[in-house]
Chain A
Amino acid sequence: MRRIQNLMKTSEGAIGFGILATLMLVALFAPILSPGDPLRIAGSPLLAPFIDPAFPLGTDRLGRDVLAGIIHGTRTSLVVGIAAAIAAIAIGLCVGLTAGFAGGAVDEALMRVVDAFQIVPSFLLALAFVSVIGASVPVVVLAIALGAWADPARLTRAQVLSFRERDYVAAARVIGMHPVEIAWKEILPNALPPVLALSAIIVAAAILTEAALSFLGLGDPNIVTWGSMIAEGRNVLRSSPSLSIFPGIALVVTVIGVYLLSEGLTKALAGRRSEA
């Protein structure tokens, strides 16, 4: 609670939280806000926005409702973004914790693996992964997580290394606690906050990566995503730019929301540390 209060005290945090909460609600209630398959052909093609009240944002090349696409696209973006971030953080935490705590050869080996993943641009990795396995939401999530876990792994390891030699850890060792127990109960809770602050950046990056994959036609074609809407709209960019602009705005707003929240979170955490 205290942390949320701290977060809401920063203006970035408050705005970011507001944007994301709204988007979450839209995603949650998408089937009520816009019932039916958002990809169905609902009206005449290429209706301009703000003309027909039935299609406030107009329709695309095939006559699909742009607003319905954006509402349902919120779901895809948030689900993929958050799931990929959770997966990346989970993998990163485990690897970082193991490496930092075990040290020696295990540390060396794991860090070289991390190096390998950090060297490959994460977008190319996701691109290759999806083209080989085929596009579906779980695959896209995994593909994005695969390129994003290295940073949290390094950060966790660095945190663990700095806590490992603290007195209370030495004390835990002296009273005979199992190393795994020490790692989970003593080190992880202290190492976690900065890693969580990183998570917001991963979410934002994951949303952008998903959009880019869909833009290139590598998203799941059976669901609507902002990236695929922009890609579709690109074909008529000169005559109906709104088809690309609206999902683009949605994307920008979401990513800004996530970044602001992350900024607020960092400040809140820093505040907590200075208080402590």
Chain B
Amino acid sequence: MTIANLSRRTLLQAGAALLASTALPTLARAQDAPAGGRLIVAADSEPKNLNPAIVASNGVFFIASKVVEPLAEAAFEGKDGLSPRLATSWEGSADGKSVTFKLREGVKWHDGKPFTSADVAYSALNIWKPLQNLGRLVFANLEAVVTPDATTAVFRFSKPTPFQLIRNALPVVSSVVPKHLYEGTDIATNPANVKLVGTGPFKFTEYKPGEYYRLTKNADYWNKGEPKLDEVIFRVLPDRAGAGAALEAEEIQLAAFSAVPLTDLARISKVPGIKVISKGYEGMTYQLVVEINHRSKELADLKVRQAIAHAIDKKFVVDTIFLGYAAASTGPVPKNAPEFYDSGVPAYDFDVAKANALLDEAGYPKGADGNRFSLKLRPAPYFNETKQFGAYLRQALAAIGIDAQLVNADSAAHQKAVYTDHDFDLAVAPPVFRGDPAISTTILVKSGTPAGVPFSNQGGYANKELDDIISKAAETVDAKARTDLYKQFQKLVATDLPLINVAEWGFITVARDSVLNVSNNPRWAVSNWADTALQS
């Protein structure tokens, strides 16, 4: 979601509060921010495995990215939209079969050992490729990592692998962990998965389950003068209503990932000393998607899927459920990925009459009770918004004579029912677009993923044409040709509707005015916070 996509009302509210109070002084101090201080942040989950090299998810990155660094981080400006971290430069070969990384010199692990190309090679071959949820796809054809010297790592692929993909995936898939702590151990149960050791600006110091994580300043950080903060505390506050109150009481200074509910933002943005920021999530756009089980007789019919798409009032969803903090989707690639986004895809306007006509045409007339058929609808429980959209979708479908029965379940039961047992007709899911369609988006519609893989196509949809485009794009090295293939991909998905994209949103950060340099990159909440500072 970009600022431009926000509704005017939202923009005025958030903008006014921001400008009036802090934007100008914050910008002025951005360069020479004061050092020291303890930043207390709200955390709402305590991941069992905190190793970002294995679990590349935002819940893990939120805490771990301050300790374990990737080769490069996303940036608003800079070459390829990246800013260097452990790698200082990266270059792909013309045949797509190798990528050369120059690594930073003089970097030390938190235990004092030097960081070398061997650590990168070990992480890539032993963790990213075989174990990591996203790395499995990106590095599927990684064959070897050659390390001619301590600061050079050359990735060699057995098949052409687009450099565009590797580049876009770097911030997410390339967290480097120390070889000397993992080699020869069982990686999955290594104690360093919980007590992290990295090269980042903060050291992992303490974890009290149910209470807090404590990270302390790494005095030996490779970028002299950073980090600014002495300590970062992640206080576990599972109750969302609690985060807003804690901010007001100055018990915490920052709540990211919309920990303060959207409904509370209008009020809290008026509280003096608090700023509401919708920037800083551009690199991880969440998409509100209706997943469809194509095994169902009715839903296998394209006309029925089109009818459902026409029955959803995206404006209502954006304005009422997301209170304007979202944008309507047109297809599987969000608007804030301009490199790939194509607006020229079939659109489905909100049109109940047309939806009814399509269903009549498809041969499902309304019965005496006004219903055509019944469906089982499973909204994902992860966000308030996905649950509310489930309640809305049931009503929207009732308007076109489809009786959708809601089934609620906790996260584990929901994932099992949808992605393993296929016990659903429609499901509401919030997949993430991570800068490149090949990272976590094409898997949502591609056929052939075994049952049990979460956030993948488990609706039994199979379209040879689409599969061919996806596999061709996966091997197309030329960035322009590859981008064109993804434009075809978007058109085909929007035409054949293997799933229905409804809206896309980023999260909201709420912080005290005293926190400086907030949201200054597209993955800010999950970046290293080396330049984040506190005004005393």
Contacts and interface: CB of A to CB of B under 8 A. Distances in A.
Interface of A: 37, 39-41, 45, 61-63, 131, 134-135, 217-218, 221-222, 234-239
A226 B223 CA distance: 56
B264 interface: yes
Contacts of B102: none
Interface in B501-517: none
Given A237-B241, A239-B266, A39 B391 contact: yes
A173 to B, nearest CB: 54
6 contacts: A39-B394, A134-B407, A217-B408, A222-B406, A234-B241, A239-B266
B412 to A, nearest CB: 10
A237 B263 CA distance: 9
B398 A40 contact: yes
Contacts of A61: 263, 320-321, 388
Contacts of B413: 131
Contacts of A238: 244, 264, 267
Contacts of A41: 316, 392, 395
The secondary-structure label for the interface of chain A is loop
The listed residue with most B CB atoms (<10 A of its CB), out of A37, A40, A221, is: A221
Interface of B: 240-241, 244, 261, 263-264, 266-267, 316, 320-321, 381, 384, 387-388, 390-392, 394-395, 398, 405-410, 413
Given A235-B261, A236-B263, A221 B408 contact: yes
B364 to A, nearest CB: 20
Nearest to A234: B241
Nearest to B381: A217
Sort A-B residue pairs by CB-CB distance and give the 7 closest, nearest first. A221-B406, A236-B263, A221-B408, A45-B320, A41-B395, A222-B406, A40-B395
B32 to A, nearest CB: 38
A132 to B, nearest CB: 9
A76 B408 CA distance: 18
B405 A222 contact: yes
Contacts of A217: 381, 387, 408
B263 A62 contact: no
Nearest to B399: A40
B316 to A, nearest CB: 8
B395 A39 contact: yes
A161 to B, nearest CB: 44
A265 B406 CA distance: 40
A40 B395 CA distance: 6
A239 B409 contact: no
Contact of B388 (A37, A62, A234): A62
B63 to A, nearest CB: 26
Contacts of A131: 410, 413
A239 B267 contact: yes
A238 B261 CA distance: 11
Nearest to B387: A217
